[in-house]
Structure 1
């Protein structure tokens, strides 16, 4: 995502301005090492490495970067299936051998598997096969989960007391008009979708005596947020949902970012470790080079639910478990739409509680199974015991 790329490039240069930390060199412009790599250079390098894109761009007399700026997208392959059957090249096979299980081993590592008489890359597992039983799970203390099965989670219906107003909250669902949380400056999309109400089934609302369009308090393990209810039969009873696209905010003294979608808030400490974010104003028209910015007619900027969500690191993979068990109730007299309250001490305690569910590695150095797919996975050395800061 280009906004993140821009941020990481700038942050890396500020952390390592003279290159002594060994970070800056990875973010220097290939044309002029005295300045950071530009986004055009960064994406140009990526696009130049895609042969089919290079050919399509050349057919129009364009560079791959210019082609993508004109068209916006490109289908690399129409039949991106059976990747596990990709043949290994002679160079890859040089110096390898095949063991009794049909695995292709090179320098002590399995690099592929035999499919009949064909050497192929296989699946992204240690054995390069679909593993019905996982040796890695057993080695990392999860022998009871080494076979595929169902893990009863913190939001299993048995763990949700509906009589107390408890629900499974889905905070990650997407609207068709917005892209993740990346479209805050897309004026036309924010004109269409500029609020993230709490979806509830009418059956639940009748049971809790909640009326459509009123505000409710959604209590989490570490605090709560106050949102407006939207009645819909498009959600299962016992489940609530709040889109995560919306809810941007800034303080009065902050730069005017995300003005197409963000609210102005005040952040106040209301307890020893408890903070409250309260809206001062919603989205308002503003002057800019784009005359449409003075035509903004919507006022809502949504609710920033993330701040009230504790971190739940999965004990096996380390990925965050996003679904939340919450308790929904009518708003209190002091509540205001958009309020977000979080206790940072409780947040840390919940994190430590989930962290304690990990099972220590008895043999070997890896703290977690490093090959399991996860978003934004760290470098492999981060999974080695003793390599993390403070160890």
Structure 2
């Protein structure tokens, strides 16, 4: 299990790694350890820009700071290339869980696209089974190390590949064997959820939850499609929902007026899976600025939206969930109570039965109270 310098709540000596947390938006192929990539690449004959693990980690971070989601996604060519065998998938999944546990995560939803891992002969079902085996190994290892953690798979279909129905059927086949939800990922602009309407109809008919990347590299129409065509219960990122909020100055204060779409998302508690560092890297908030201070996360939070904080891709952003929380706490002067709200928001939005969500919330509250 990896160790790292702890991240503290600003102005305190509280290490955020100690707090129980929920991770809703974390990609399997975006969370590999650089040293693991080096070892797996050697076995698979994959060429790397460097075989020094530290240098490789820095390379991923540098290449990911492109300001474009399309360019950002190109770094995944390397990570997916070393995840084409059962052994590779199992190892990456096991280490992924170990790293989440070391960061204090007690419920983690791990999203990934099985269709991207078939190059060396595995079937779709075999990839899901391999990842599940690795996840279970990781949970066992974490618990043996004194951490408590549960995880579930979010099976993603790639937006451009038009295999949505096939991947939805795959998710349903494994719904009682580790898969807890469905997602669509990849280039957002030009590939609306309506292209996979048959997949979402199947999932809805089987009462299976979906979260959809929307409002990251495309605007309000993408979010609207995620809700109407995709029947999304959560929005992956969703930060461009702020385009439907008008803030004006009236007297000595400011007034926010919500459009119909933003009002719908807020009133129904549809969770926003924001990923601050990643949103800066991909240009998701470019219309508002280029620094964390410009991120609409705080506006959405102050207005009462169900905001959650996530990592997206820990390797590409050189981050952890504790680091993301430290960054937003420092930028927006959040205290422990604010961070608790983010975790309870995530617990409420988790793809778990209501009794499990309530138990998760209780564990989070207990852990935060111990930290005071």
- Give the TM-score, by structure 1 length: 0.25
TM-score by length of 2: 0.26
Bigger share in helix:
2
Where relative contact order (Cα < 8 A, 6+ residues apart) is larger, the structure is 2
